[in-house]
Homo-oligomer: A and B are copies of this chain.
Amino acid sequence: MMSPLDSNIQIETLQADRFAPFGSVVEAGHAIAQASINDGRAVRFELPVHIDASMHGGQPRLSIFRAEPTPLPWRIASMERHPWGSQTFVPLAQLPYLVLVGLGHDAPSRSTLRCFLARPNQGVHYARGTWHHSLLALQAQSDFLVIDRAAEPQRSNCDECATLDWQLWINLLPDGSTP
């Protein structure tokens, strides 16, 4: 339950410039190059994503993450980062979702937190080492295509940070509605 000291994080729309400190937005409209291919029957939008998976002998890995919807209000209890690789999430469901990210050396700083509402046609690429919350699906169980670094045996590629002391919640959208 929320106490008088608790607060709700502000939720903003996902835009490439706002997200730049954390990575990039995966969306045709944010391509770095565009080319007509297949004899004019298709267009290739090359995305500003550096699949950063080769550190310590790593390999890119393709997965589908099936995320349960987040019950709201949701207390932000932990954040994580992957020091050895980037992570790319592309929604396969036609549903919006939230992206919670932060900056910090040994831990995310509360003042740097940003919570973005992604449209169904927007994916996100977390640059290597970016602090982020786990997947925040909203309305229903949602599949995401994920490109990250295959885990090395015996070595961890995930730092976790407990954040309950922030007393920070995800609750309502800026217009007051539930996502």
Contact = CB atoms under 8 A, between A and B. Distances in A.
Contacts of A92: 90, 92, 121
Nearest to A145: B90
A169 interface: no
Contacts of A88: 62
A26 B65 CA distance: 13
Nearest to A59: B51
Interface residues of A, number: 41
Interface stretch (A3-11, A14-22, A39-47, A111-119): A39-47
28 contacts: A26-B64, A28-B66, A38-B134, A38-B135, A39-B134, A41-B68, A41-B135, A42-B66, A42-B135, A43-B66, A44-B63, A44-B64, A44-B65, A45-B65, A46-B61, A47-B64, A49-B62, A51-B60, A51-B61, A51-B62, A51-B147, A53-B60, A60-B147, A62-B88, A62-B125, A92-B121, A123-B145, A147-B147
B134 A41 contact: yes
Copies, count: 2
A65 B35 CA distance: 10
